[in-house]
């Protein structure tokens, strides 16, 4: 016995299966393809724009990122009807603004391709992510003072790398004379920056100290950590005083220095030795 759609009367065929008495077109019209969604609520950081995805704060670097996150949210929030196989969603929404979002649902109803759009209220809940809350509350916890003899491409590359790697923990990068001060919200990151510098240069002198002890609004005591990273990137022509004797740098290969004294004598010393015994230096420039 042939079956017909109870709504439009179309006869069942391979391209028009009857599901619960309805053809695919009428099925979607009458029942939809997913259970009713009341609203979608997304928590975001008003300071850095990160989005809270199931308790994890995810950085959003582009509108594509945000679309992906929203689509994941939507997939998690909707429940397809039993006969419908949900394959993909596309969401039309206003970023960080409460509005009605249009959700396009793509999938199959008994092997028949279905495309169906629904509208859902989308709410954006503004808050501060833990990292931004820390910045707003306690200020920075550490300062890394990068100092160099010569400003060169390697230094610039290094500062850019630090900025990229630890962006989330950097409050500010301040250029100062012959260096940069990097304000960090996490003291542990300071040590990681030291490690990075040590991997790049042999001649790196590290000096750690603590600033005044302060009491935070939480009652916690905190002393700001200062780490000075002095990068001895000598170039020929630089002036240096080692063990009280002034020298001019002849050459430096990253590890070994050739130094000329005022009489024209040249000595070769390792940068480790110089690091322990220099009292001052001056770049040729
Ligand atoms: Zn029908
Ligand atoms: Zn944030």
Domain limits, the chain: 32-127, 139-231, 239-282
| Rounded CA separation 64/81 (Å) | 28
- The rounded Å distance from CA 14 to ligand 1 centre is 14
Ion ligand 2 contact residues with beta carbon within 5 A: 45, 47-48, 50, 129, 132
The pLDDT of residue 232 is 94
- The rounded Å distance from CA 274 to ligand 2 centre is 43
For the CA of 132, the nearest ligand:
2
- The predicted-structure confidence for 124-182, as pLDDT tens digits, reads as follows 988 878 887 766 656 678 899 999 999 999 999 999 999 888 887 888 888 888 899 99
For the CA of 19, the nearest ligand:
1
The pLDDT of residue 185 is 83
For the CA of 27, the nearest ligand:
1
For the CA of 3, the nearest ligand:
1
Q: Which residues of the chain have pLDDT under 50?
A: none
- The predicted-structure confidence for 86-110, as pLDDT tens digits, reads as follows 999 999 999 988 999 999 999 999 8
């Amino acid at each position: 016995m042939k079956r017909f759609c109870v709504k439009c009367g179309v006869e069942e065929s391979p391209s028009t299966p009857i599901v619960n008495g309805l053809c695919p077109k009428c099925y979607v019209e009458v029942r939809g393809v997913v259970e009713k969604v009341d609203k979608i609520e997304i928590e975001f950081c008003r300071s850095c724009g990160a989005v809270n995805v199931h308790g994890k704060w995810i950085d959003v670097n582009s509108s594509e990122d945000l679309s992906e996150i929203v689509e994941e949210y939507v997939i998690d929030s909707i429940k397809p009807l039993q006969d419908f196989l949900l394959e993909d969603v596309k969401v039309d929404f206003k970023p960080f603004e409460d509005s009605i979002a249009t959700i396009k649902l793509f999938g199959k109803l008994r092997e028949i391709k279905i495309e169906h759009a629904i509208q859902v209220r989308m709410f954006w809940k503004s808050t501060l992510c833990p990292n931004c809350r820390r910045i707003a509350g306690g200020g920075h916890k550490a300062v890394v003072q990068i100092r160099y003899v010569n400003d060169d491409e390697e230094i610039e590359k290094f500062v850019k790398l630090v900025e990229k790697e630890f962006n989330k923990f950097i409050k500010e990068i301040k250029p100062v004379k012959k260096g940069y001060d990097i304000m960090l919200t996490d003291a542990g990151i300071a040590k990681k920056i030291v490690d990075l510098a040590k991997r790049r240069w042999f001649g790196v002198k590290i000096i750690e100290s603590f600033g005044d002890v302060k009491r935070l609004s939480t009652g916690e005591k905190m002393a700001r950590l200062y780490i000075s990273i002095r990068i001895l990137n000598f170039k020929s022509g630089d002036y240096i005083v080692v063990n009280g004797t002034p020298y001019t740098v002849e050459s430096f290969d990253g590890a070994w220095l050739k130094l000329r004294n005022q009489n024209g004598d040249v000595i070769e010393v390792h940068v480790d030795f110089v690091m322990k015994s220099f009292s001052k230096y001056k770049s040729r420039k």
